[in-house]
Each structure stands twice: as structure tokens, then as C-alpha cells.
Amino acid sequence: MIALFYIAAAVAVLATLMVITRAHAVHALLYLIVSLLAVALVFFLLGAPFAAALEVIVYAGAIMVLFVFVVMMLNLGAHSVKAQRQWLRPAIWIGPCLLAAVLLAELIYVLAALPAPAAAPVVVGPQAVGLALFGPYLLAVELASIMLLAGLVGAYHLARPEICGPTEGGT
């Protein structure tokens, strides 16, 4: 069990290293997805299947796919088909695939060979998470909503298309 944890952690570190050394955004994003999947597996092995599911659905699923789509949509044009074919050369996708395959093998092994994740002292389910969030940590949830508002307003202001002429905001 401990060995499984270390393998998943090593995949996460390796994938993250690849993220920050890739020059191309799409390649980096592929590795980032693998890194997030590895973290999800670590959560699962530590007895937090709900956090693992959220990690896959929210981060690796929704947010990262959004990132990839946005990066691809920004490059629309005549040359984009050729460019995208170039991005998806085997040399590019083989690395993330290998790492993901390691994770998949681990997951299958865990699900098939072991009755339950044995390294975990307790399994924290969705109900426990919900009770904690909307019980003692209610204020944290409310404050996090304010934090998202700050991010939303800030992003809206900084990324708003030009409508007021080039004089806006100084020289």
C-alpha cells in the first residue's frame, strides 16, 4: 500500500516537473491533467474517495478541459488544423499516456486486489464533508464565495475588451 502511494506521488512530481518545463501550453496542460489525476489517486489511497472524485471531476475534468479548449480556440484560423495535428504527434502524447497508464494500473490493482484501501484509518465520505462544510466551517464557505467574487470582478476588469479608447488607464 505504501509502495502504491509512493508510485502515485512520484508520478505527480514527475508530471508537475514536466508541466513547468514544457514550452508549449497545450503540452504543459496534458501533463497537468496527469498530475491532478495522480493527486486524486493519492487522496483515494489515503482514504478520501470523495476528495479524489472531486479532484477528478472539478480539476482534471472541468477546469483543465476548459483550459485546453480555450487554448485551442484562441488559435482559430487557417493554419490551426495543421498546428493542432503537429501538437498531437506521438512524441507529444506518449509521455502523458505512459504516466496515466501507470496510474490506471495502480487503480485497477487497488480495486481488484484489495477489499478496501488499507492504508486509510478512516474513510471520509461525502456526507461527512458536507456536514463539516455547512456546520462548523460555514463561515469559511461564505468567505470563499467572497474570494471568488474578487477573482471574478478582477478578471472581468482586466480582460474586458477595449471599449473606451486607448487613453484608458494612463499613457
Stretch that binds other proteins, among 35-43, 87-95, 103-111, 134-142 (CB under 8 A): 134-142
In 3D, which of 22, 49, 50, 48 has the Cα closest to residue 35?
Answer: 22
48 in Cβ contact with 124 (< 8 Å) = yes
13 in Cβ contact with 32 (< 8 Å) = no
State the sign of the Cα–Cα–Cα–Cα dihedral 2, 34, 12, 51: negative
Q: Given candidates 76, 116, 122, 156, which one binds other proteins under the rule CB under 8 A?
A: 156
> In sequence order, which ranges of 60-137 are alpha helices (DSSP H)?
64-74, 80-87, 90-113, 126-134
Contact flags string 86-125 toward other proteins, x per CB under 8 A: ----------------------------------------
Stretch that binds other proteins, among 13-21, 56-64, 97-105, 139-147 (CB under 8 A): 139-147
Shortest distance, position 120 Cβ to other proteins, whole Å: 15
Judged by CB, which is closer to other proteins: 108, or 138? 138
Q: What is the phi-psi region of residue 114: left when phi exceeds 0, alpha when psi lies from -120 to 50, beta otherwise?
A: beta
Footprint on this chain of other proteins (rule: CB under 8 A): 136-140, 142-144, 146-147, 149-151, 153-158, 160, 164-171
